[in-house]
Structure 1
Amino acid sequence: MAAIMGAQKSLHAEESAEVEVLSANLEKLKGLTKRIQGSVIRLQSTGDNVQDSVGPAFGNTQRIQTSISNVDRLLDAIDRMRAPLDNTNREERIIKQGPKKTGLNDYIASIDRMNRALGDLKRSNLKSNQKTVSELSLLLKMGNTQLEDIFRSVLREDNRPIEPLHYITKQEPFPTIPQEKISTLRTVNAHCATTVSQTSQYDVKDTPTSRVFAETRGDYIAASLQNLSSASMSTARKTNADALYRQGACAIGTYAQGLEGMYVSEYDNICNIFAREDWSPVLNTTCQASLNDFSRTLRDLNAHIQAHLITDCYLGFEIVDVVSTLSINLESRTGELKRPISDALKPIRDTSKLAFPRLLDDIRARIQSMPSLPPDGSTIPIVAEVMTRLQTMTSYTNPIASLMRSLGDGGWAPPNPTSTTSSTFDVGADGRQLFQHYATDTLDTLHSALETRARALHRTRPLQGVFLANCVAVVDRSIRQSELSRELEHPSLPAKLGGWRRAAEKLYTDSWQEAAKHLLDVQHTTKTVGRPPSGSTAGAGAGGADSAAIVKGLNSKERDAIKEKFRAFNVAFEELVQRHKGLRMEPEVRQGLAKAVEAVLGALYGRFWDRYHEIDKGRGKYVRWDKSQMNQVLASLG
């Protein structure tokens, strides 16, 4: 127990000693803390004093640093602005040496550098740079001028006029500028356009290179087409001024082909050199000179057509067709030039439209002015000429349809003051139907004028009938043996011609009707003697017996009357046959009139002969022809 108690005392003693040590350390720590707090207070006081002293100096230092940074940036800007000025002398030397000495690529690179420098100076908007801007602009214009000279010289290398006829006849494509030169021209044009936009104060629609191209290539096209222009005029003039124009005789078709070929090839050049928005103006400007020549040629041709409208209106139709096709082709291939070409064609279109009424007036005037008609009843040349005109028109169906649609149906007729209707333009009108109407009006005009003149100049109706029948035959034959048979395929036309033919036959057979009256007799039905059937074909014996019985039943006065009828008929018939053989008839007219005469006399003479041929006992004194002989004579008329 005592041991335990001794151990506990010993343990407490140790713990007490440790506490005393800790307490002593704590006292030391408190003292140290007080000293540290005092030092901190003194340090804060010293820092406040330092802050009050150093603060203004530090602020000034920051402001100085900002100013230095600003000055550095300003110096950099000045250096950048001075850079173009420093390079001006070097670029000026390159520009003044020219592209031939420096090389085109280096020359263009120099211009590009100046363009960039000029753009930078303009964006700086400093008044101090205005002089430099002006100097650079002048230098760029000088460089652009030299590029224009390069552009012009490259163009002129392929600017020798060509002969379009060679390419047309050989069916070869028209030449274009070689591809390696196209590349140079495209590059030069692009840089010139950029320079112009930089140096100009206004929005420039066309560049110097576009003007150079239009001038150079325009002269090339105009010179190449000059021979075709001259050929168009020379071939339009005929050796015989009164002859109708022959389709294709004028070189206007070849001229149009040359124009189209050269314009299309030039359009290809333009598309490969210029920007898309420049294609249209450059093409129109380039083609202007040759279009002016083309318009002048059309004006000269129009004057020629106006002076020979009746014979050369067909040249007008051909030109309308050729030039209309040209304008459509160019518009489809280039999208341009339709309007100026249509404007150039307008005078010839107007003249061609005037031809339709003038041709009708010419028919009336020429027939009315004829002092005489052929005494043998033959036709006159104007009938064939009018049909030739209509036949010739069938070769120009498209342009004629277009012109007639402009006139309107019936617009070719002279104005009628009493008419309440007028022709109107109908773009959807049937061109073939319009031509049918015009051709019908032409035939009506021709027949009406011929009929009027025949009544005035031919004394007898048979002569009038033969003349008109011959004219109708020529008209009918001309239609059937030409393209008119298809173009005038309408049921009203054969009926019209048939009516004219029947009217002419009636005029001719009127005199034969007069002769036929002598074969009419008065039959008394109360007589006991029988009458043979009309048109009997009984043999001589039977016919003779009947005729003898009939004649025997006649009194002397009646016999004398029958003899007089035979005599009068013989005289009239011989005269008519003689006159018939002396007249000039178309083959179909002679056959048709022979049938008409046979219809008038054949059956009537046969009946009269059957009844009374025994009046002279077969001596032939009064009865000169039996039925078979009469049939032979009538057949010989055809």
Structure 2
Amino acid sequence: MAISLGSRHAADEEARAEVEVLNSRLEKTTQLTKKIQSSLGRLESSGRSVQDAVGPLFGNTQKLQTLGTNIDAVLSAIDRIRQPSDIKSNEEEIIRKGPEEAGLAAFLSSMKRVNKALSEMQQTNLRSNQQAAADLGRLLKSGNTQLEGHFKRLLQEDSMPVEPLHYITKDKPFPVLSQDTTTRLGLMNSFIASSTRQSSISGESPIVQAYASVRGPYLTSTLQNLAFASVNTARKQTPDAVYRQGTNGMGTYARGMEGIFLAEYDNICSLFSRDEFGRVLNLTCQGAISELARTLRELNTHIKANLTTDCYLAYEIIEIMSNLSSNLDSRTGELKPSFAAALKPIRETAKWSLGELLEDTRRRISATVNIPLDAAAVPITSETMTRLQTMADFLRPISSIMISLGDGGWKSGGSSNASSDQIPSLSSFDIGADGKQIFAHYSMDTIDTLLNTLEQKAKSTLQKTKSTIGVFIANNATIVDRMIRNSDLQPLLSPRMADVERWRKTGTQMYTMAWREPSTHLLDVQYTNRGSQRPPSGSAAAIDSAAILKGLSSKDKDAIKDKFRLFNASFDDLVAKHKSLSMEREVRETLARQLQQMIEPLYGRFWDRYHEVDKGKGKYVKYDKGSISAVFLSLG
């Protein structure tokens, strides 16, 4: 028990000792906390003192930095103000020398520096720079003027006129600018074009006009001799000579123009931007096209003065110029309206010619054509058909004219609702069904006009000789038919040949009417005795002429003799007249065949029955069946 109490007392003592240790540590911690709080208080007080001391110093430093920045800006502005006069001083000497003396590369570099400085100066918009900007602007303008002059001089060196026939006859392309020239011209054009775009003045680059002012005369001069040749080859050696296709110089002129224009377009594409191609090409070619228009006006005057013989030249020129316009348009997309305007006088004359040629046919027949007494065809028929044949050689341009006039439009003097300022496109030159059909109608209108007018003139001249009028009409209709079938008109007019055939039949019928008179003498009454039987009407071998005559009275026999005599007189007279007439081979053969078919059967029947009336003496019966058949054969 005593041991137990002692152990508990030792444990309590130990616990009291630990509590005292903890209390001692807590007291030290409290003292340390107070020291820390005291230190923090002193530190906070010191921080406020530092802040109060450093704050004004920091503010002054910021002000000094701002002041330094402003000073730098002022110095920079002073440099910019001084810069224009420095640039002007540095670049003026180079620019004043010009691109030839200073060298193109150095000159362009100097101009670029001036241009850049002026652009920057205009952006700052400082009043103090206004005078300097004006000085730089004048310097830049002077430099541009010198560049333009140098551009033109350099271009002129490669713009001497050439002989176009050298390139046309040898089928060689026309020359273009050399690569070296193109490079230098391109550098100048690029700079001036860029300068123009950057300037406040709107408009195209002056290089466009400069280029056209040099190359335009080159084109005109090169083509000048071809223009003269086109006019000279139109002059007639023989007044009534008909124009022959391809004998005028217009085709060569057009080939030269196409070749040199395409070469010029290549030059333009090498120098200018795409949006300038059309403008430059039109300006450059304007003089050459004006010369073309003058040439076409001269040719038009010649054509109008010789319309009946030289209208074909108008048709040829239309085709040549239309092909030229289409070819250039397909390559460049330009110049078509200019060519249309130049071609307009020729095109109007070509349209007018169609109706005028019809009127000329009427006038010539009425005023100058004399109907031959032998009924021969007159020259105007073959001349008119030759004209239509020649027109068929120009069917492409004529088809386009016909389409623009419309069917029958030639009757209104060549007026058209379509605009004459528009040149036909390639599609309008395709010889389609419409164009051919309208030309076929015009051809038949021409033929009807010809034959109608000839018939009227023949009736007024040969009033009482219808047979001669008939042969005359048949002759002319036959020539028309023949000249259609033996030419390119045949496929065009084959559906209308029946109309021509009607004219020939009309003439044939008028002629054969005169041969009805001898036929009437071969009509008789079959005479028989009352007691005799009517003779058979079968074959000739079954007819006994002597037996038939034996049954006739003397009066009846005398009537038969008179019929033979009258027939002979009328027949011989008509045969003589027939042989005196001039007939085309086809007409003579046709008439001989028709007369034989009309008269020979009647005569054969009459001869079979009554040839014994003069007992073979030939006093009344002049022809037997063989001899009269021979006469008909001789008529053919």
Over the residues paired in the alignment, what is the CA RMSD in angstroms?
3.0
Check whether the contact 1:464–1:507 (CA below 8 A) recurs between aligned residues: yes
Check whether the contact 2:84–2:133 (CA below 8 A) recurs between aligned residues: no
Check whether the contact 1:229–1:255 (CA below 8 A) recurs between aligned residues: yes
Which residue in the other structure is 1:419 paired with?
Answer: none
Deviation at 1:102?
2.6
Which residue in the other structure is 1:380 paired with?
Answer: 378
Bigger shift: residues 135-144 or 237-246: 237-246
Cα distance change on mapping 1:29 and 1:480 into 2, 3 Å: closer
Provide the C-alpha distance between the structure 1 equivalents of 2:553 and 2:483, rounded to a whole number of angstroms: 58
Deviation at 1:532?
5.5
Check whether the contact 1:409–1:424 (CA below 8 A) recurs between aligned residues: no
Provide the C-alpha distance between the structure 2 equivalents of 1:525 and 1:127, rounded to a whole number of angstroms: 144
Which residue in the other structure is 1:477 paired with?
Answer: 482
Bigger shift: residues 234-243 or 467-476: 234-243
Deviation at 1:582?
1.5
Which residue in the other structure is 1:418 paired with?
Answer: none
Which residue in the other structure is 2:147 paired with?
Answer: 147
Check whether the contact 1:357–1:413 (CA below 8 A) recurs between aligned residues: yes
Which residue in the other structure is 2:173 paired with?
Answer: 173
Q: Aligned to 1:446, which of 445, 450, 458?
A: 450
Could you report, residue by residue, the CA deviation over 1:187-214 in whole angstroms, capped at 9, with x for unpaired residues?
Answer: 110011122233x43212x212111111
Paired residues for 1:11-22 under 5 Å: none
Provide the C-alpha distance between the structure 2 equivalents of 1:243 and 1:320, rounded to a whole number of angstroms: 21
Paired residues for 1:19-418 under 5 Å: 41=41, 45=45, 48=48, 51-52=51-52, 55-80=55-80, 82-198=82-198, 200-204=199-203, 206-370=204-368, 372-414=370-412
Deviation at 1:318?
1.1
Which residue in the other structure is 1:494 paired with?
Answer: 497
Deviation at 1:179?
2.0
Could you report, residue by residue, the CA deviation over 1:453-492 in whole angstroms, capped at 9, with x for unpaired residues?
Answer: 11111241111111111101111110111111122121xx
Deviation at 1:61?
2.8
Which residue in the other structure is 1:506 paired with?
Answer: 509
Is it true that 1:455 corresponds to 2:435 in the alignment? Answer: no
Deviation at 1:621?
0.9
The residue identity in structure 2 corresponding to 1:591 is E
Bigger shift: residues 219-228 or 500-509: 500-509
Which residue in the other structure is 2:566 paired with?
Answer: 568
SS at match of 1:56: helix
Deviation at 1:70?
2.4
Could you report, residue by residue, the CA deviation over 1:377-429 in whole angstroms, capped at 9, with x for unpaired residues?
Answer: 111110001100100110111111111111111112258xxxxxx99879887
Deviation at 1:357?
1.1
Bigger shift: residues 117-126 or 32-41: 32-41
Which residue in the other structure is 1:521 paired with?
Answer: 524
Which residue in the other structure is 2:596 paired with?
Answer: 598
Cα distance change on mapping 1:414 and 1:606 into 2, 3 Å: farther
Cα distance change on mapping 1:16 and 1:309 into 2, 3 Å: same
SS at match of 1:430: helix
Cα distance change on mapping 1:617 and 1:82 into 2, 3 Å: same
Cα distance change on mapping 1:183 and 1:497 into 2, 3 Å: same
Check whether the contact 2:529–2:551 (CA below 8 A) recurs between aligned residues: no
Cα distance change on mapping 1:57 and 1:530 into 2, 3 Å: same
When normalised by structure 1's length, the TM-score is 0.90
Which residue in the other structure is 2:422 paired with?
Answer: none
Cα distance change on mapping 1:590 and 1:43 into 2, 3 Å: closer
Deviation at 1:293?
0.7
Provide the C-alpha distance between the structure 2 equivalents of 1:290 and 1:137, rounded to a whole number of angstroms: 38
Check whether the contact 1:141–1:195 (CA below 8 A) recurs between aligned residues: no
Provide the C-alpha distance between the structure 1 equivalents of 2:99 and 2:41, rounded to a whole number of angstroms: 84
Provide the C-alpha distance between the structure 1 equivalents of 2:369 and 2:312, rounded to a whole number of angstroms: 29
Could you report, residue by residue, the CA deviation over 1:485-513 in whole angstroms, capped at 9, with x for unpaired residues?
Answer: 122121xx222222211211121122221
Could you report, residue by residue, the CA deviation over 1:138-169 in whole angstroms, capped at 9, with x for unpaired residues?
Answer: 11112212222221122112211122222222
Bigger shift: residues 301-310 or 82-91: 82-91
Cα distance change on mapping 1:596 and 1:414 into 2, 3 Å: farther
Cα distance change on mapping 1:131 and 1:523 into 2, 3 Å: same
Deviation at 1:331?
1.1
SS at match of 2:394: helix
Could you report, residue by residue, the CA deviation over 1:230-280 in whole angstroms, capped at 9, with x for unpaired residues?
Answer: 111111222222232211121112211211111111111111100111111
Provide the C-alpha distance between the structure 1 equivalents of 2:461 and 2:608, rounded to a whole number of angstroms: 41
Check whether the contact 1:551–1:559 (CA below 8 A) recurs between aligned residues: yes
Could you report, residue by residue, the CA deviation over 1:576-623 in whole angstroms, capped at 9, with x for unpaired residues?
Answer: 222211111111111111112111211111111111111111111111
Provide the C-alpha distance between the structure 1 equivalents of 2:536 and 2:82, rounded to a whole number of angstroms: 139
Provide the C-alpha distance between the structure 2 equivalents of 1:246 and 1:519, rounded to a whole number of angstroms: 57
Check whether the contact 1:140–1:195 (CA below 8 A) recurs between aligned residues: no
Deviation at 1:48?
4.2
Provide the C-alpha distance between the structure 2 equivalents of 1:600 and 1:235, rounded to a whole number of angstroms: 58
Check whether the contact 1:530–1:550 (CA below 8 A) recurs between aligned residues: no
Cα distance change on mapping 1:20 and 1:572 into 2, 3 Å: closer
Cα distance change on mapping 1:293 and 1:30 into 2, 3 Å: same
Could you report, residue by residue, the CA deviation over 1:329-359 in whole angstroms, capped at 9, with x for unpaired residues?
Answer: 1111101111111122122222111111111
Cα distance change on mapping 1:574 and 1:429 into 2, 3 Å: closer
SS at match of 2:383: helix
Which residue in the other structure is 2:424 paired with?
Answer: none
Q: Structure 2 stretches of 5 or more lacking a match?
A: 420-427
The residue identity in structure 1 corresponding to 2:308 is I
Bigger shift: residues 588-597 or 241-250: 241-250
The residue identity in structure 2 corresponding to 1:86 is D
Deviation at 1:452?
0.8
Which residue in the other structure is 1:468 paired with?
Answer: 473
Provide the C-alpha distance between the structure 1 equivalents of 2:369 and 2:31, rounded to a whole number of angstroms: 164
The residue identity in structure 1 corresponding to 2:478 is A
Q: Aligned to 1:624, which of 622, 625, 630?
A: 622
The residue identity in structure 1 corresponding to 2:149 is D
Provide the C-alpha distance between the structure 2 equivalents of 1:333 and 1:531, rounded to a whole number of angstroms: 93
